[in-house]
Amino acid sequence: MPTIKPVSTIIGMQWGDEGKGKLVDILTEKFDIIARATGGANAGHTIYRNGKKVIFHLIPSGMMHEGKICVIGNGVVVHIPTMMEEIDELKKLGINLENRFFISDRAHVVLEYHKTIDGLQEEMKGGKSVGTTKRGIGPAYADKIQRIGIRFGELQNFEEFEKRYMANLEMHKRMYGNFEHDEKKELEYLKSVLTNILPLIKNTEEYLHNELKQGKNILIEGANGTMLDIDHGTYPFVTSSNASISGISSGTGIPGSLITNVIGILKAYTTRVGSGPFPTELKDETGNYLREKGGEYGSTTGRPRRCGWFDTFVAKWTGMINGITEINLTKLDVMTGLEKVKICIGYRLNGKELSSMPFTAEDLEKVEPIYIEMDGWKEDISQAKKMEDLPENAKKYIKKLEELVEIPIKYIGTGVGAEDMIYC
């Protein structure tokens, strides 16, 4: 029997949008199977192929590579129309999905009433809204936890699926008022795409383990970022799933003991979409500079991202939680042109320096970042292919980040393309 190879994963170490998709795209050539473990269509992975920008919300971006198999694991919640749109887009690009794309029979379905409920819940919260993408992710996960969710395997008996669907809809209408919903239209649509969906459904946990036993290499693509993790993030301003290492294991059925290569993704600065505390946020010209130069607008919602300085306190926290073994520092090129750059090395709360991440979002909102300042650089780094090609001040910045975070930086992103990467 072939030796079972260690499983690799790529995890966001900030509030998402770190640039995970690009590294997945680069590393895919070394792997046989690329899997998604958590989240839903609230994730957006952007890659550039032959000058074309392609955004994936559900299907692993490894699908762009011929012969690679892609899996949506049991921990993902899937909005079928979004998935079908992505399948159609891939087909238009001439990409064959046959026997290359599978969905766990245990993955939960995001239905249109989940999206309606998402909007209703945000309205009810008023000024305390957490700023969701309103894609039904939270309500779908809530149904899962309440043990009333509907899973992909149930589509294999559509009559039973329909009964569950109607029972759940009626229950939600009793809870949220008799909101408008066209169940007939949705059920007809789902029935019409059944022939496309049923061949994709399988027991992916068993499948992945069997493939590991055959000596296959597996890469698991993280979604969102650890600071949005339901347990370890800035609760309640978080997503509804585990966007950390724990979700990678539970969302695929692969034990943590096999997931030993954990690559963390960090932007050279920090961004956040939506509400919630953000200690290093820049509400000035520098913040605008980073936003415009970095194209910091959400790939899922188009919302402008909040921008700020690199936060070592966040990086050390998420590095610890995930057991990160190496780092990909992304978007270093965006920092070019700044006279001075700052790095947050700690927080003060009520005049006292903190030794660990605050428990409450309220406290994190009040902290005062402690900064060190370094000289910036003006030289264009877009053509840099190795560390020696970088300006001295850029090298000093990278070295300082590595020293502070205490995890080796192995990849440095210098542009949007797959070729714009320095390997250390």
What residues are annotated to the active site?
A: 17, 45
Distance of CA 352 to the CA centre of its chain: 33
How many angstroms separate the CA atoms of 396 and 394, rounded? 5
How many angstroms separate the CA atoms of 265 and 43, rounded? 15
Nearest residue to 108 (alpha-carbon basis) of 177, 164, 187: 164
Length in residues, the chain: 424
Beta bridge partners of residue 104, listed in sequence order? 202
Measured CA distances, 201 to 60, 107, 187, 189, 390 (Å): 16, 9, 19, 18, 47
Q: What angle do CA 262, 266, 268 make, to 5 degrees?
A: 150
Q: What is the DSSP letter of 418?
A: T
Encoded amino acid at 248, one letter: I
Residue 126, burial from CB neighbour count under 10 angstroms (0-12, 13-18, 19+): exposed
How many angstroms separate the CA atoms of 199 and 214, rounded? 23
